[in-house]
Amino acid sequence: MVAPRPIRTPKELLAQQLVPEEEFATITDVAKKYALSITPAMRDRIVGPDDPIARQFVPTGQELISLPEEREDPIGDDPFTPVKGITHRYPDRVLLKPVLVCPVYCRFCFRREVVGPGDSMLKEGQLAAALDYIRSHPEIWEVIFTGGDPLIMSPSRLRPILAALDAIEHVKVIRFHTRVPVVDPDRVTEEVVGALTLDTPVWVVVHTNHSQEIGPGARRALRLLAGSGIPLVSQTVLLKGVNDTPEALEDLFRTLIVNRVKPYYLHHGDLAVGTSHFRTTIAEGQALVRRLRGRVSGMCQPTYVLDIPGGHGKVPIGPGYLNGDGTVTDPWGITHTYPPRSSTD
Ligand SMILES: *Cc1c(COP(=O)(O)O)cnc(C)c1O
């Protein structure tokens, strides 16, 4: 049997009946602009044309619509790039982007203008310069691997980079932002886990947006990582038509906790070009987050955050419960004075 390969062309989408014939020309235009890939693991979990998985990975003509407020560099990586492959926005931590490819391409990706197949791996000299930058900045406490998806790298490519970081005294924590354990779980092997096992603690942040993504393969991969002592947290993008209901979010966050993954961030959709069909309003996001409070375990509550366009950082934008008039609203919408004035307040 031939091992299944990712879907990478509009022709393959058509052959797999993931796009209708009449949209083929449009999809071809979209695929010229933005990278396309759907792993077999994700293909297997698509059950219908408009389901939460198909919406995330199957291109649509809506991606050709751009709004004036949308930007090619929505969260302002460029102005904070001192050397290729490094983004240094916060003093104590840097992003390290050794590769700009992914096993899947999300249709709402905030780095969609720079991520995709092609010449997208740091060359040896560039990687050495990135590591030198980290070495020469003692304020860098944490190195965050992102990209692209850093776990697309083989253990033999990861090992020397991790060994170099492990040897830097001031780097106390290494973090991986990845979708691999969910979208391409077979890549998570004992060998990869071995490569992630260093003196410096490695944390893994799993990007996942819907419980339907988390099948038997993902559960095995998460169990292997968690069972090896690697702390797991998650990040989720709030996406219209994918997870913008209280039920979908509740189900996802419960599934994550059951798989030993602590929900970390719920991101408000970034202003990436051609992604307006995925964005909710902040008010809608706050209403959803409010619905989870009081009804779902505190363990299941991520922080709802906005990455302020232009590189001004992430801030929590969840609903407030303190009302500024000496009252506080409980999870069920009833206000109380604080401190209480009588035993019934
Ligand atoms: C998101 C991000 C980080 C990590 O932020 P945390 O709040 O620590 O998760 C670091 N640097 C940049 C440039 C980022 O965009």
Residue tagged active-site, from 45, 55, 71, 89: 89
- CB contact at 8 A, 82 and 122: no
User: Quick one: pLDDT at residue 7?
Assistant: 98
User: Quick one: pLDDT at residue 117?
Assistant: 75
User: Quick one: pLDDT at residue 118?
Assistant: 74
106 is catalytic: yes
Distance 94 CA to ligand 1 centre (A): 8
270 is catalytic: yes
- CB contact at 8 A, 168 and 198: no
Give CA angle at 290 (238, 211), nearest 5°. Answer: 40
User: Quick one: pLDDT at residue 120?
Assistant: 83
DSSP lists the bridge partners of residue 296 as 293
User: Quick one: pLDDT at residue 4?
Assistant: 86
What is the dihedral sign for C-alpha 67, 285, 148, 62?
A: negative
**Which of 77, 87, 90, 315 has the most ligand 1 atoms within 8 A of CB, as the residue to mutate?**
90
User: Quick one: pLDDT at residue 28?
Assistant: 98
User: Quick one: pLDDT at residue 345?
Assistant: 65
Nearest protein Cα to ligand 1, atom 7? 314
Ligand 1 closest atom vs CA 87: 13
Distance 87 CA to ligand 1 centre (A): 9
Q: Give the integer Cα–Cα distance in Å for 97 and 115.
A: 11
User: Quick one: pLDDT at residue 2?
Assistant: 60
Domains defined for the chain, CATH in brackets: 74-320 (3.20.20.70)
Q: In terms of DSSP H, where are the helices of the chain? A: 10-15, 24-33, 40-45, 52-57, 124-135, 155-166, 180-183, 190-195, 216-227, 246-258, 282-292
314 is catalytic: yes
- CB contact at 8 A, 26 and 33: no
DSSP lists the bridge partners of residue 322 as 328
**Average pLDDT by stretches of 10, the chain with 345 residues:** 85 96 98 97 94 98 97 93 97 97 97 86 96 98 97 97 98 98 98 98 98 98 98 98 98 98 98 98 98 96 97 96 94 94 70
- HSE-CB at 47 with a 13 A cutoff on CA atoms is 4
User: Quick one: pLDDT at residue 343?
Assistant: 66
3-state secondary structure at position 256: helix
What is the pTM for the complete model shown? 0.96
